[in-house]
Homo-oligomer: A and B are copies of this chain.
Amino acid sequence: MNVVNDSPRRRELIRVAAQLFVQEGFDRTTVRMLAQEMGIKSGSLFHHFRDKQEILCAVIEEGTHNALVIAREALEQCDGGAEARLHAMARAHLETLLTDRNAHVVALYEWRRLDEPSRDHLGHLRDAYEQLWQDVIGDALEAGLIRGDKFLVSRFVLGALNWTVRWYDPAGAYSPDALASELIGMLGAPTAATA
């Protein structure tokens, strides 16, 4: 009953829950599964979370939060060039998609299972992240690096990047850095072909 909001135990639960949600989907993952994976009984979960929804919310929140932090860091450690910033964002996105893969897959595929309040809360986080992208894309457009409408390009690029969770193999030929370069090279940037 007495729910604690931050503890190592809770963090571990979120990690394992994310993995299960990816493997089985949110609805098919039962509280009993998660409990067994943690070596405890199902009732004990509700000491850490109010209900099952809150577990889902926590998983997505952590992933989105990390993505935002990493993106901001990547932009700060960057000289002012529009192309460098674009590359840094793409690379950061791919890297967080790898390190927090489970959380991001859950965010992408189980978003609809969130109830209204959670969706609202997490929506603001996600909006902040997308705003970052729109700023960087806007700069790249002004610098003549790419062509098109700011919002349209942002959505196309985000779509292309998010789709990578379906096929990208980190053991394959491309590193996140190389993949980011390939993406930018594909866009109509005459000077970015070999970035």
A-to-B contact residues, CB < 8 Å: 25, 27-28, 109, 112-113, 146-149, 152-153, 155-164, 166-167, 174, 179, 182-183, 185-190, 193
Whether A182 pairs with B113 at a CB distance below 8 angstroms is no
Taken together as a complex, chains A and B put the C-alpha atoms of A159 and B158 apart, in Å, by 9
Taken together as a complex, chains A and B put the C-alpha atoms of A124 and B156 apart, in Å, by 27
Taken together as a complex, chains A and B put the C-alpha atoms of A5 and B55 apart, in Å, by 41
Distance to closest chain B CB from A87 (angstroms):
15
Distance to closest chain B CB from A172 (angstroms):
11
How many copies of this chain does the complex contain?
2
Distance to closest chain B CB from A169 (angstroms):
12
Taken together as a complex, chains A and B put the C-alpha atoms of A172 and B158 apart, in Å, by 20
For A186, give its contact among B161, B182, B187 (CB under 8 Å).
Answer: B187
Whether A186 pairs with B27 at a CB distance below 8 angstroms is no
Whether B186 pairs with A153 at a CB distance below 8 angstroms is yes
Residues of B close to A112: CB separation below 8 A:
25, 109
Distance to closest chain B CB from A176 (angstroms):
13
Taken together as a complex, chains A and B put the C-alpha atoms of A163 and B155 apart, in Å, by 8
Whether B188 pairs with A148 at a CB distance below 8 angstroms is no
Provide a sorted-by-A list of 16 A–B residue pairs whose CB atoms are within 8 angstroms.
Answer: A25-B27, A25-B112, A25-B113, A147-B185, A148-B182, A155-B163, A155-B164, A156-B160, A156-B186, A159-B162, A160-B160, A160-B163, A163-B163, A186-B187, A187-B188, A188-B190
Whether A148 pairs with B186 at a CB distance below 8 angstroms is yes
A28 and chain B: residue at smallest CB distance = B27
